[in-house]
Amino acid sequence: MGAVSNSFFSPSIFTPPLGKNPLFSLKSMGNITMISKGPSKWSMVSSKLSESGIEEKNPTSNGVSDSKSRMEEYNIAMKRMMRNPYEYHHDLGMNYTWITNNLIVGSQPQKPEDIDHLKEEEDVAYILNLQQDGDIEYWGIDLQSITKRCRDLEIRHMRRPARDFDPDSLRSGLPKAVSSLEWAISEGKGKVYVHCTAGLGRAPAVAIAYMFWFCDMDLNTAYDTLTSKRPCGPNKRAIRGATYDLAKNDPWKEPFDNLQEHAFEGISDWERKLIQDRVHSLRGT
């Protein structure tokens, strides 16, 4: 197993108005844990993320240069389509951040040993994967070996795919993804690891939506709580849109695009209860 290293980003101290919510007795604050890649070699596949706007290139014979090229393409696409300055460094291995005492957000596990680490070091009992098949193929990840290791360790592996860099796909997928996350947390059998590819867009958005809808926070507080610990740029508009979709499903409602810029950054108690009921109803779907 690779070495564990903290301080990928400098720790930041942030104390949001969390009141007495026991969910936020944090194990660590502002630290990103990284699991470095071991010396083992693996070949890259020729699949691409065409739906993410990453240009297809022919596979190279040099695994190192091919991996570097893929990272460059991915980060260019992320900057162009998400308009944020963050980058994903696949060659450094899996990285993650504790958000609450039972919720971890991070990048994709790359090998079965990453699952061993999550189980042994972090007591993870559930993994929520937001990647599409094309994402996994693009990085040459052997998902079957990872899910097998999850079964061996009695970790529940769940998938709620959303298209990378696509706020509309994220918006439509958030309710079901949050439903899976909320169910896993409510089971209380261990920690929940939520990941996409880089852990900078889809996964943090799901965690933020969960905190907004289920933890008595407004959207900005939930957003700042997460991004103060894990610097990233999840799409706030997609979360607002999903909130609107759940709270306002009557046929005569005003279209979301016609609303003010900050609409649905806060919700009333009855709207929150309605959202929670609708998210609960999605369990098992």
Chain segment 143-174, per-residue pLDDT in tens: 999 999 999 999 999 999 999 999 999 999 99
Mean pLDDT (whole number) for 72-77:
86
For residue 234, give the nearest of 266, 259, 260, 211 by alpha carbon. 211
Q: What pLDDT is recorded for position 62?
A: 53
Q: What pLDDT digit, counting tens, does each position of 99-117 carry? A: 999 999 999 999 999 999 9
Contact of 166 with 160, CB cutoff 8 Å:
no
pLDDT digits (tens, 9 = 90+) for 248-281: 978 888 999 999 999 999 999 999 999 999 999 9
What integer is the mean pLDDT of 25-51? 45
The angle at the Cα of 156, spanning 171 to 159, to the nearest 5 degrees, equals 30
Q: Reply yes or no on whether 215 is catalytic.
A: no
Q: How far apart are CA 166 and CA 108, in angstroms?
A: 18
Phi/psi at 116 (nearest 5 deg)?
Answer: -55, -45
Distances, alpha carbon 255 to alpha carbons 28, 54, 281, in Å: 41, 31, 24
pTM score: 0.79
% of the chain beyond a pLDDT of 70: 77
Higher local confidence (pLDDT), 112 or 52: 112
* Rounded mean pLDDT, 34-40: 56
pLDDT average, residue stretch 205-231 = 98
For residue 55, pLDDT beyond 60? no
Asked if 194 and 130 count as a contact pair (C-beta separation under 8 A), the reply is yes
251 vs 204: CA distance, rounded Å: 31
CATH superfamily, domain 4-55+62-280, is: Protein tyrosine phosphatase superfamily (3.90.190.10)
Among residues 50, 54, 60, 84, the alpha carbon closest in space to that of 72 is found at 54
pLDDT band at 221 (very low <50, low <70, confident <90, very high): very high
**Quick one: what percent of the chain has pLDDT higher than 90?**
67
Q: Where are the beta strands (DSSP E) in 81-172?
A: 95-100, 103-106, 124-129, 156-159
Q: Which of 150, 196, 215, 232 is catalytic?
A: 196
Confidence of residue 28 (pLDDT cuts 50, 70, 90): very low
